[in-house]
Amino acid sequence: MAGIDLKGGVDPRIGLSLDQIETPSLLLNRIALNRNLNQMATFFNTRSSKLRPHFKNHKCVTLAKKQIAAGAVGMTCAKLAEAELLVAHGIENVLIANQVVGELKTTRLAKLAKKAHVSVAVDHIKQIIDISNSAKKESSQVNLLVEVDIGMGRCGVQPGAAALELVQKILQLPGIRFAGLQAYEGHLVNVLDRAERTLRAQAAMKLAVDTRRLIENAGIIVPCISGCSSATYNSTGVMEGVNEIQAGTYVTMDKQYKKLLPEFEIALSILVRVISRPVPSKAVIDLGIKGAGCEFGSPEIQGFPNVEIPFFLAEEHCVINQCPDWQIGQTLHFIPTHACTTCNLHRELIVHENNLVVEVWPIEGSGKMT
C-alpha cells in the first residue's frame, strides 16, 4: 500500500521536504503525473481505439492501477514475470508484447491464463505449438497476437500472406485463441519532426492494417491490432483498424520523449546531491549509470539547461561542467533521458507535491526479467 513501510506503519518520509530525504532517490511529481494521466485518458475516452499502457515504463503496480482507473482497457508487459505480478495484484487483462519461449515459461503462461485474460505475441509456429501444448495440459486458454514486422526489423512475421498462414495454424490447435495482430513502429518513434514522424509511422502501420484486411477477407475475424507508442498515440493511434495503443512513457516522461511530446510534462526525476566541487567550474553529483538510464544521450539538471553533462556517466558519479555556484550538499533534480531503464534500477517512487513527500510507491516490477 502506498505510504506504508515494511513494518506496517506510515512511511516516516511522508511530510518531509525533498531536501530532507536521502539521495539519490527516484521522484514522481504528483501534479505533473495526474495531468499526464488525464490528458492521455481524455484523448482516448471518445475514440474507438483504447489505451493499453506499457508497464515497462514504470513497473509500479500503484501507477498501473491509476492508469486502469483512468480508463485503460488493460496493461501491456514486456515480460511474463511482469504479467504474473500484475495479475497477482488484481489486474485481470494483460498483454505480454513479446515472445514467451521454453517449456518452463509456457507452463507458467498457461497457469496464469487460468487466473486472468492473458495475451501474448507470437511470430513462429514453434511458439504456437508449445503454448498450445502447455495450455492443453493446464486446461486453460491463451490469447495469441500474431506480431507483424512493419519495419523495426526485430520480431514479427512479414506483413501479408505470412501472417495469414500463421493465423490459420493457430485456428487448428487447442488451448489457444487468435486474438489479433501486434505491430510496433518503434524504428520511427524518435523522428523529431512530428509531421515527418506521423507520415512515416502511418505508412508503416498501414502494412499491419492491410494485413488485417487480408485476414478478414479470408473469412477470419481479427479482434484487434495492438501497438503504437507514446510518440505516435495521435497518429497511428487514431488510424482505422488500430484498436489498442501500448503507450508507456507518456505518464512519467523523460528528456528524450519531451522532445517528441511537448504537450506532456516531465514528472519523473532523480533527487541528487552535489558531493564535490573540485574546481570552480565543476561539480560532481552522487548518481551514475547504476541509477539512471543514459542510452538516449546526455541527461540534464532541471532548471539548468546550459550546464554540460558528459554522455558517459561513471558508475556512481556524474561530473557536471560549467555549473553555477552550487554548494556541497545542495539537492538537484536530475532528468534522465530514458525513464524505462531508470525505473528498472530503483525499488520505489517517492511521490511529491509542492516540494513535500506525499506518498511512497514500491516499484514491484524492477528486476523482473523472466
Q: Are 67 and 75 in contact (CB under 8 A)?
A: yes
Give the pLDDT of residue 163. Answer: 98
Query: Do 212 and 271 share a structural domain?
Result: no
CATH of the domain at 337: 2.40.37.20
DSSP-H helix ranges across the chain: 30-45, 61-69, 80-88, 103-112, 125-138, 161-170, 194-217, 255-260, 339-343
Assigned domain for 316 exists: yes
Query: Do 245 and 120 share a structural domain?
Result: yes
pTM of the predicted model as reported, rounded to 2 decimal places: 0.95
Query: Do 43 and 151 share a structural domain?
Result: yes
Q: Are 201 and 150 in contact (CB under 8 A)?
A: no
Assigned domain for 369 exists: no
Quote the number of domains for the chain: 2
Query: Do 206 and 109 share a structural domain?
Result: yes
Q: Give backbone dihedrals phi and psi of 359, rounded to 5 degrees, phi first.
A: -155, 160
Query: Do 23 and 53 share a structural domain?
Result: no
Query: Do 282 and 238 share a structural domain?
Result: no
Residue 8, class by beta-carbon neighbours within 10 Å (0-12 exposed, 13-18 middle, 19+ buried)?
exposed
Q: Are 13 and 360 in contact (CB under 8 A)?
A: yes
Distances in whole angstroms, Cα of residue 149 to Cα of each of 207, 244, 319: 9, 17, 41
Structural domain including 306 reads: 18-27+263-362
Give the pLDDT of residue 109. Answer: 98
Assigned domain for 225 exists: yes
**Nearest-angstrom CA–CA distance, 311 and 329:** 23
Query: Do 284 and 165 share a structural domain?
Result: no
Query: Do 321 and 194 share a structural domain?
Result: no
pLDDT tens over the chain, length 370 residues? 456 554 567 999 999 999 999 999 999 999 999 999 999 999 999 999 999 999 999 999 999 999 999 999 999 999 999 999 999 999 999 999 999 999 999 999 999 999 999 999 999 999 999 999 999 999 999 999 999 999 999 999 999 999 999 999 999 999 999 999 999 999 999 999 999 999 999 999 999 999 999 999 999 999 999 999 999 999 999 999 999 999 999 999 999 999 999 999 999 999 999 999 999 999 999 999 999 998 888 899 999 988 988 766 799 999 999 999 999 999 999 999 999 999 999 999 999 999 999 999 999 999 999 9
Domain-ending residue, one of 204, 231, 252: 252
Cell numbers for 317: 558519479
Amino acid at 340: C
Assigned domain for 184 exists: yes
CATH of the domain at 99: 3.20.20.10
Q: Give backbone dihedrals phi and psi of 142, rounded to 5 degrees, phi first.
A: -110, 130
pLDDT digits 0-9 by tens, 315-360: 999 999 999 999 999 999 999 999 999 999 999 999 999 999 999 9
CA torsion sign for 321, 326, 329, 331 is negative
Query: Do 282 and 220 share a structural domain?
Result: no
Query: Do 196 and 83 share a structural domain?
Result: yes
Query: Do 312 and 193 share a structural domain?
Result: no
Domain-ending residue, one of 195, 226, 252: 252
Assigned domain for 125 exists: yes
Q: Give backbone dihedrals phi and psi of 176, rounded to 5 degrees, phi first.
A: -135, 155
Residue 311 DSSP one-character state: S
Mutual angle of helices 125-138 and 161-170, in 10-degree steps = 20
Q: Are 82 and 55 in contact (CB under 8 A)?
A: yes
Query: Do 194 and 47 share a structural domain?
Result: yes
Domain-ending residue, one of 209, 226, 252: 252
